[in-house]
A and B are shown apart, each in its own frame.
Chain A
Amino acid sequence: MYIIDRRRDASGKSLGNRQRFIRRARALVRHAVREASKDRKITDTGKGGEIVVPVDGVHEPSLRRSSKGGTREYLLPGNKSYIEGDAIERPPSGGGKGGASADGNGEDEFRFALSDEEFIDLFLEDLELPDLAKRQVMGEGKEQPRRAGYRSSGPPSSLSIQQTMRKSLARRIALRRPKVEEIADLEAQLKALEEEGGHEDKILEIREALKKQAKRSIAIPFIDPVDVRYRRFEMEPKPVAQAVMFCLMDVSGSMDEHLKDLAKRFYSLLYLFLSRRYRYVEVVFIRHTHEAKEVDEDTFFHSRETGGTVVSTALEEMIKVMHDRYPPGVWNIYAAQASDGDNLPIDNEKTVSLLKTSILPLCQYYAYIEVGREPEERRRSVEPPSTLWRAYDMILSPKLPMAMRKVRDRRDIYPVFRELFERKSNAATSGV
């Protein structure tokens, strides 16, 4: 017999198998992630979590006897009152009786937990982001130290002399360590008395006092290890700042679920992008028809309104909220507007001027995405641009922090971002 301690051995022997499994189920997992992110709040986009994969896709088939039909025998323990010949009502299928035979069909779905990274990775993969862009969305992971109080241990280089001395002083006062001046004073007195001569009692008394003082000075050190303080740092994502993200959406009847889903994906991606760069990200949802209203996320995506389409109302609402709660001096402001391009023609002028005078000067970035359906025939792809598009197109200039795109499919969402990244890298960290 011999005993082996295996605990130190590398664990994670199954890592290879786990990777093979996720690769195998990749399409399914990606689909599950898509489904999951549909039900999630935008602010939860970046979190991992449990996903459910239909067991069908990772099923291992075998030739086995069916769990239905035929004649079966069950041998059960714990008979209480049955006697031979009794009839028992057939339990509803799936009831406990099947347990006696080991051929039960098992579960019909397979759930397991993904880590945050795995989840975001699959989420981004679903949007068909190129790798480089993925890295940009996720941020480079740059962190910088931030002062965060003091601690009692640390490297000499971060010793805080001021705090240490402060502690030491407090301790010296509390324990009544004799001050240097006091000793000097006594010594001076002694010297004076000795020169004078006589005063034997007094000299003795002062000597006694001096001796006591000297002992106290040794017993109570000037700086004790308990006084020493070091500066404490915390690593923080850089830049540390706050941002607010305005989601504007046209919810008139023409925006159907597909279009809303596209818009939601865009918002999710923008949120992910912002939450990696700013410490606090708040999201404001404003929906509009011919009038605009700030609502919560659920209402934003799921309730329908009827009415005309007046975009300027949403912009007015946004300006109002911005001035009320998010002063541009303190907040970085991002706005994303989704619409199918309809607007009341006479409103265009007002919209454009609002955008140009009141919003764009205060925004880090304003994104307009025009959601639509895949044109069924090639011929139709040359449809005339919508009224809103034409109106925005007029003010579009490289100097303005604004981008607009037509989005017909999930994979169109990314290019809108590319413009954002280009701007960011040119302007360096000016936004902070």
Chain B
Amino acid sequence: MTTATAGRDDPLLFKDANWDFDTLSRIYDGVAEIGDELKLDIYRPRIEVITTEQMLDAYASTGMPLFYRHWSFGKQFVRNETLYRKGWQGLAYEIVINSNPCVVYLLEENTATMQTLVLAHAAYGHNHFFKNNYVFKQWTDADGILDYLAFAKNFIADCEEKYGQAEVERVLDAAHALQNQGIHRYPGKRQMDLRSEQKREHERREHGERLFNDLWRTVPEGQGKKAKKRTTERDRRRALLGLPEENVLYFLEKTSPRLRPWQREVIRIVRLIAQYFYPQRQTKMMNEGCATYTHYEIMQRLYDRGRITEGSYLEFLHSHTNVVAQPDFDDRRYYGLNPYALGFTMMKDIERMCVNPTAEDRAWFPDMAGNGDPVETLKDIWANYRDESFVSQFLSPAVIRKMGLFLVTDDAREKDLSVDAIHDERGYMRVRRALARHYDVSRHDPDIQIVDVDLEGDRRLVLRHSVIDGVMLEEEDAERVLQHLANLWGYEVHLTEENDKGDISTKHTAEPVHPFV
């Protein structure tokens, strides 16, 4: 092992593929030096070296270091294990967790070069993104997540002991089925605490007193106001329950008439964890692009300064090229757009436009072209955009041409698919808009809202799916989820699917067969 660590004065971080913990910390320092130069702002990393088996464990619990127990994670584990043992699937080199301190898992089998790459990628790239991107800032609490997971795990274990595994599993199954409907997609208005409520009331009164004029009393009431006042019973009811509500789990947690407190808490746990992961779905491509750009930059500079050998530079390039490979659509390996490839290509292109813009770039991106500071520009982008807005703002014609992006429309009523836009003058904007839509998570998830509850009748819960582009719900699944929902709600549940013209096309109904009591 002595050969692995180069001497203190030697510029090389390491000499061969072997590493030990001294090498690792030396590598980290080398990476950190450049990370600081780039002025990356990160959570303090906590680097953990793990074995392949532990990596498989981590896979099964969505990468988190601790998680409550559920059979679906076992299913995941069994599947990954089978795939891995048969050699059909490799393992990730690292897993990084959006937490403070930022946990980075490194696989023990990585070579020293790979550890360098992975540290640059995860401990700097992803970490910076987690800490600075607005979606993460708004929705996740990196300081609290590990504690919360520990709480969740213990709470569910306690429940299993008190009420039996089967009972808890039933609630979890139902909640998991609805977890995509357990997300607040917009930051609503915050509940005020009593003191600020008082203060506001006070200010209002003062304002009213200042403006008091007895004449207002004599002004006749307008027609419009009267119409507004005529609220129906339905509106009153909806206002009372805060309807329409798209966060189904939240609604159940707060208002479901038959759930017991521990069941509400279990639903809340599933909901909060789904919420925690929501930003990752919205920023997958940018996040990977940011990490890939960062590791490329760091490795490049390490090599330029002679801190890694030519051999390990080649090893890095080999691995990097694999990561950012984008097979063409007619290639056998094609499996959708590679987020690493698209993110990296776009960010490299932004760098180029900052430093060396063409006339086209100046026309398309007048603010950015030629500003000469690619890293700061990118950091601003990493902080303030998500995949959808990033694409709709920054996908340049150059990238569209380079990747040969084209738009194909598939209308089920037509016989053939049609090519709607390609990489030409007429197509750039359309390709860009279509790609932005492709990354819009709210278009992937069906828009389902609770619209009404029949409080006076049979307490039927009414949901509506607003159909976009004529794409209905997967029917079999919808029936099953609705069954879960009916069990949680305790009464009948209705789901209608209507398009924007209000035509109802499908109705699903479910009665509780085995309600929770």
Chain A residue contacts of B477, Cβ below 8 A: 61-64
Within 8 Å by CB of B73, from A4, A14, A113, lies A14
Q: Check B474 against A110 for contact (C-beta < 8 Å).
A: no
Given contacts A22-B74, A77-B328, A87-B416, contact A111 B46 (CB under 8 A): no
Q: Check B409 against A87 for contact (C-beta < 8 Å).
A: no
Q: Check A63 against B421 for contact (C-beta < 8 Å).
A: no
Q: Does B475 contact A (CB under 8 A)?
A: yes
Q: Check B329 against A84 for contact (C-beta < 8 Å).
A: no
Q: Does A79 contact B (CB under 8 A)?
A: yes
Interchain CA distance A70-B446 in the complex, whole Å? 13
Within 8 Å by CB of B472, from A22, A65, A73, A82, lies A65
Q: Check A69 against B472 for contact (C-beta < 8 Å).
A: yes
Q: Check B412 against A85 for contact (C-beta < 8 Å).
A: no
Chain A residue contacts of B405, Cβ below 8 A: 75-77, 79
| Closest chain A residue to B471, Cβ basis | A70
Q: Check B176 against A60 for contact (C-beta < 8 Å).
A: yes
Size range of the chain B interface in the assembly: 35 or more
Q: Check B25 against A19 for contact (C-beta < 8 Å).
A: no
Q: Mark B70-114, 1 if CB is under 8 A from A, else 0.
A: 111111011101100100000000000000000001001000000
Within 8 Å by CB of B471, from A14, A69, A87, lies A69
Q: Check A4 against B409 for contact (C-beta < 8 Å).
A: no
Q: Check B481 against A61 for contact (C-beta < 8 Å).
A: yes
Chain B residue contacts of A72, Cβ below 8 A: 409-411, 469, 471
Shortest Cβ gap from B322 to chain A (Å): 17
Q: Check B410 against A73 for contact (C-beta < 8 Å).
A: yes
Q: Check B473 against A17 for contact (C-beta < 8 Å).
A: no
What count of chain A residues pass the 8 Å CB interface test?
66
Q: Check B72 against A113 for contact (C-beta < 8 Å).
A: no
Q: Mark A1-19, 1 if CB is under 8 A from B, else 0.
A: 1111111010111101111
Q: Mark B7-34, 1 if CB is under 8 A from A, else 0.
A: 0000000000000010011001000100
Within 8 A of B (CB), among A69-100: 69-80, 82-90, 96-97, 99-100
Shortest Cβ gap from B470 to chain A (Å): 4
Shortest Cβ gap from A7 to chain B (Å): 5
Q: Check B79 against A78 for contact (C-beta < 8 Å).
A: no
Within 8 A of A (CB), among B383-432: 403-412, 415-424, 426-427, 431
Q: Check A64 against B73 for contact (C-beta < 8 Å).
A: no
Within 8 Å by CB of A102, from B79, B105, B336, lies B336
Chain A residue contacts of B451, Cβ below 8 A: none
Q: Does B353 contact A (CB under 8 A)?
A: no
Max count, chain B CB within 10 A of own CB: residue among A3, A80, A86, A113: A3
Max count, chain A CB within 10 A of own CB: residue among B45, B178, B179, B407: B407
Q: Does B57 contact A (CB under 8 A)?
A: yes
Chain A residue contacts of B169, Cβ below 8 A: 20, 24
Shortest Cβ gap from B326 to chain A (Å): 6
Q: Does B314 contact A (CB under 8 A)?
A: no
| Closest chain B residue to A56, Cβ basis | B476
Q: Check A20 against B165 for contact (C-beta < 8 Å).
A: yes
Shortest Cβ gap from B200 to chain A (Å): 39
Shortest Cβ gap from B176 to chain A (Å): 6
Q: Check A68 against B336 for contact (C-beta < 8 Å).
A: no
Q: Check A62 against B410 for contact (C-beta < 8 Å).
A: no
Q: Does B496 contact A (CB under 8 A)?
A: no
Interchain CA distance A23-B75 in the complex, whole Å? 11
Shortest Cβ gap from B352 to chain A (Å): 19
Shortest Cβ gap from B153 to chain A (Å): 11
Chain A residue contacts of B179, Cβ below 8 A: 62
Given contacts A73-B408, A86-B418, contact A7 B49 (CB under 8 A): yes
Max count, chain B CB within 10 A of own CB: residue among A16, A50, A71, A97: A71
Q: Check B49 against A14 for contact (C-beta < 8 Å).
A: no
| Closest chain B residue to A88, Cβ basis | B417
Within 8 Å by CB of A5, from B21, B331, B444, B445, lies B21
Q: Check B47 against A84 for contact (C-beta < 8 Å).
A: no
Within 8 Å by CB of A19, from B74, B335, B409, B475, lies B74
Q: Check A16 against B180 for contact (C-beta < 8 Å).
A: no
Q: Does B435 contact A (CB under 8 A)?
A: yes
Q: Check A73 against B407 for contact (C-beta < 8 Å).
A: yes
Q: Check B418 against A3 for contact (C-beta < 8 Å).
A: no
Shortest Cβ gap from A99 to chain B (Å): 5
Q: Check B444 against A6 for contact (C-beta < 8 Å).
A: no
Q: Check A84 against B420 for contact (C-beta < 8 Å).
A: yes
Q: Does B434 contact A (CB under 8 A)?
A: yes
Max count, chain A CB within 10 A of own CB: residue among B123, B435, B481: B481
Q: Check A3 against B419 for contact (C-beta < 8 Å).
A: no
Q: Check B471 against A65 for contact (C-beta < 8 Å).
A: yes
Within 8 Å by CB of A78, from B78, B328, B418, B419, lies B328
| Closest chain A residue to B82, Cβ basis | A112
Q: Does A103 contact B (CB under 8 A)?
A: yes
Interchain CA distance A153-B421 in the complex, whole Å? 77
Chain A residue contacts of B50, Cβ below 8 A: 6-7
Chain A residue contacts of B32, Cβ below 8 A: 1
Q: Check B71 against A20 for contact (C-beta < 8 Å).
A: yes
Q: Does B209 contact A (CB under 8 A)?
A: no
Given contacts A3-B24, A66-B475, contact A112 B418 (CB under 8 A): no
Q: Mark B227-238, 1 if CB is under 8 A from A, else 0.
A: 000000000000
Chain A residue contacts of B74, Cβ below 8 A: 14, 16-22, 24
Interchain CA distance A159-B204 in the complex, whole Å? 100
Q: Does B334 contact A (CB under 8 A)?
A: yes
Within 8 Å by CB of B444, from A76, A80, A84, A102, lies A102
Given contacts A20-B69, A71-B410, contact A63 B415 (CB under 8 A): no
Interchain CA distance A78-B328 in the complex, whole Å? 4
Q: Mark B431-442, 1 if CB is under 8 A from A, else 0.
A: 100110110000
Within 8 Å by CB of A73, from B24, B434, B484, lies B434
Interchain CA distance A77-B334 in the complex, whole Å? 9
Chain B residue contacts of A103, Cβ below 8 A: 444
Q: Check B417 against A90 for contact (C-beta < 8 Å).
A: yes
Q: Check A66 against B473 for contact (C-beta < 8 Å).
A: yes
Shortest Cβ gap from A192 to chain B (Å): 66
Q: Check B178 against A63 for contact (C-beta < 8 Å).
A: yes
Q: Check B437 against A73 for contact (C-beta < 8 Å).
A: yes
Shortest Cβ gap from B252 to chain A (Å): 14
Chain B residue contacts of A6, Cβ below 8 A: 48-50, 54, 105
Within 8 A of A (CB), among B478-505: 478, 480-481, 484
Q: Check B409 against A73 for contact (C-beta < 8 Å).
A: yes
Q: Check A87 against B418 for contact (C-beta < 8 Å).
A: yes
Chain B residue contacts of A99, Cβ below 8 A: 334-336
Chain A residue contacts of B77, Cβ below 8 A: 14, 17-18, 21
Shortest Cβ gap from B436 to chain A (Å): 10
Q: Does A67 contact B (CB under 8 A)?
A: yes
Q: Does B137 contact A (CB under 8 A)?
A: no
Q: Does A58 contact B (CB under 8 A)?
A: yes
Chain A residue contacts of B420, Cβ below 8 A: 73, 84
Shortest Cβ gap from A60 to chain B (Å): 6
Chain A residue contacts of B63, Cβ below 8 A: none
| Closest chain B residue to A16, Cβ basis | B69
Chain A residue contacts of B28, Cβ below 8 A: 1, 3
Given contacts A63-B473, A82-B406, contact A77 B326 (CB under 8 A): yes
Q: Does B241 contact A (CB under 8 A)?
A: no
Within 8 A of B (CB), among A137-184: none
Shortest Cβ gap from A89 to chain B (Å): 6
Q: Check B481 against A62 for contact (C-beta < 8 Å).
A: yes
| Closest chain A residue to B417, Cβ basis | A88
Q: Check A70 against B469 for contact (C-beta < 8 Å).
A: yes
Interchain CA distance A263-B56 in the complex, whole Å? 42
Q: Does B177 contact A (CB under 8 A)?
A: yes
Within 8 A of A (CB), among B170-184: 173, 176-181
Q: Which 4 A-B pairs have the closest CB atoms?
A: A78-B328, A21-B74, A17-B74, A70-B471
Apart from A3-B49, A112-B82: 5 A-B pairs, beta carbons within 8 A? A20-B74, A22-B74, A62-B180, A83-B424, A112-B79
Can you identify 9 A-B contacts, CB atoms within 8 angstroms?
Answer: A6-B50, A13-B57, A17-B60, A21-B77, A61-B476, A66-B471, A70-B472, A80-B328, A87-B417
